[in-house]
């Protein structure tokens, strides 16, 4: 005699639950199709919401074994720079122009090093190391602050190597598959160094990473899929417009400005929280995502014809990097006046350098 009769009520409940879930998915699918009809606004909203949620979720990792400058260099750039990676992947897959991705990355990096560091310094001040008066009143510079400063200096020095590598590989006017392999390879090696840095730090502190980091990773993957879908649809919509529209003709510049919005939220939050080291490392680390990773990723799909503006953009990036290196290593803070000058320089860069 079969025992399935005992489980008949359970099967009935399971069938009923499946029916409810199916009806819910159908209704959700209907709402999704309706939302897609509102494009490009739906895709833009999907991109922005998923980006902000990814920034929030990765911020949680600060309390799970990833702290300080390592957090800003290794983790935060994937929150703020993931849209740039997806833009490079989507544009390369859809046969877009390589000069667009170079413009996107140049604008993104200049924005990080000027506006997104300069404006927080102007509003909240960015003190990597407390002033001498503050040290005597409160407490001296801690060992952790010194280590964070050294890590930040190393991150700034890496900026010069990565940008210099892009300039050297692009001197012949093109970036091909081999160049892309080199750019992606040096970025991955840089990330591996930071992974080992995290492991050494946790061993020194006698603690291990929480298993819930895997849950956060899955959430980030899901949000990343949403970002990719939103950017994919936005790129397809703009490509369908064709030449003659400002969104098409200035896609690299406008996309570079759009995709720094999650990074701007990150910079504002940590400047308000008094974590200047994370403000700096997250912005510079996001620049590493773009140069070399995004440009190298696109070069794996298609040969990039280097635009004329690239050399000027590289000079601006290197100049801003040297400025930050001086204030971080020598003075230990970015004065408000320099924040104002960097903010003004950003506007001048756009209108006289790229938009002009």
Q: Quick one: 299 exposed, middle or buried, by C-beta within 10 A (0-12, 13-18, 19+)?
A: buried
The set of residues, in sequence order, having a beta carbon less than 8 Å from that of 118 and lying 6+ positions away, is: 334, 338, 339, 340, 341, 342, 343, 345, 346
CATH of the domain at 138: 1.20.1420.30
Q: What is the mean pLDDT of residues 341-347?
A: 90
Answer for the pair 306, 102: CB distance below 8 angstroms, yes or no. Answer: yes
SS (H, E, C) 224-242: HHHHHHHHHHHHHHHHHHC
> Which is it for the CA torsion 17, 18, 19, 23, positive or negative?
positive
15 lies in a domain? Answer: no
29 lies in a domain? Answer: no
21 lies in a domain? Answer: no
274 lies in a domain? Answer: yes
With pLDDT > 90 as the criterion, what percentage of the chain qualifies?
20
Fill in the DSSP letter of residue 98.
H
Q: What's the rounded Cα separation, in Å, for the pair 126 and 129?
A: 9
DSSP 110-173: HHHHTHHHHHHHHHT-EESS--HHHHHHT-PPPHHHHHHHHHHHHHHHHHHHHHHHHHHHTTTS
110 lies in a domain? Answer: yes
With pLDDT > 70 as the criterion, what percentage of the chain qualifies?
63
pLDDT digits (tens, 9 = 90+) for 196-217: 776 776 666 666 656 676 777 6
Range of the domain at 177: 39-354
Number of structural domains in the chain: 1
3 lies in a domain? Answer: no
169 lies in a domain? Answer: yes
Residue 265 exposure: Cα atoms within 13 Å on the Cβ side: 19
pLDDT digits (tens, 9 = 90+) for 283-330: 888 888 889 988 998 898 889 999 888 888 899 999 999 999 999 988
2 lies in a domain? Answer: no
pLDDT digits (tens, 9 = 90+) for 60-80: 766 565 555 555 556 666 666
């Amino acid at each position: 005699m079969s025992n399935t009769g005992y489980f008949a009520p359970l099967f009935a409940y399971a069938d009923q639950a499946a029916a409810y879930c199916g009806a819910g998915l159908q209704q959700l699918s209907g709402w999704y199709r309706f939302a897609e009809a509102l494009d490009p606004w739906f895709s833009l909203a999907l991109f922005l919401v998923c980006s902000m949620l990814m920034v929030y979720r990765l911020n949680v990792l600060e309390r799970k074994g990833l702290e300080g400058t390592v957090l800003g260099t290794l983790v935060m750039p994937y929150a703020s720079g993931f849209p740039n990676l997806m833009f490079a992947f989507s544009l390369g897959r859809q046969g877009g122009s390589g000069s667009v991705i170079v413009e996107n990355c140049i604008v993104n990096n200049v924005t990080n090093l000027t506006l997104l560091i300069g404006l927080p310094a102007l509003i909240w001040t960015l003190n990597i190391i407390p002033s001498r008066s503050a040290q005597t009143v409160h407490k001296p510079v801690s060992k952790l602050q010194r280590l964070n400063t050294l890590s930040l200096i190393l991150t700034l020095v890496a900026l010069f190597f990565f940008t210099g590598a892009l300039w050297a590989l692009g001197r012949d006017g093109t970036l091909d598959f081999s160049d892309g392999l080199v750019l992606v390879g040096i970025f991955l090696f840089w990330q591996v160094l930071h992974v080992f840095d995290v492991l050494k730090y946790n061993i020194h502190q006698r603690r291990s990473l929480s298993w819930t980091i895997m849950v956060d990773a899955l959430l980030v993957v899901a949000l990343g899929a949403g970002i990719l879908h939103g950017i994919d649809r936005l790129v397809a919509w703009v490509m369908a417009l064709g030449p003659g529209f400002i969104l098409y003709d200035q896609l690299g510049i406008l996309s570079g400005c759009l995709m720094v919005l999650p990074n701007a939220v990150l910079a504002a939050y940590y400047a308000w929280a008094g974590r200047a080291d994370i403000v700096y490392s997250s912005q510079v680390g996001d620049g590493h995502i773009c140069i070399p990773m995004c440009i190298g990723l696109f070069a794996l799909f298609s040969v990039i014809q280097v635009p004329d503006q690239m050399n000027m953009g590289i000079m601006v990036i290197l100049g801003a990097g040297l400025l930050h290196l001086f204030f971080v290593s020598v003075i230990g803070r970015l004065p408000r006046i320099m924040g104002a000058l960097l903010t003004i320089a950003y506007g001048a860069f756009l209108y006289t350098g790229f938009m002009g």
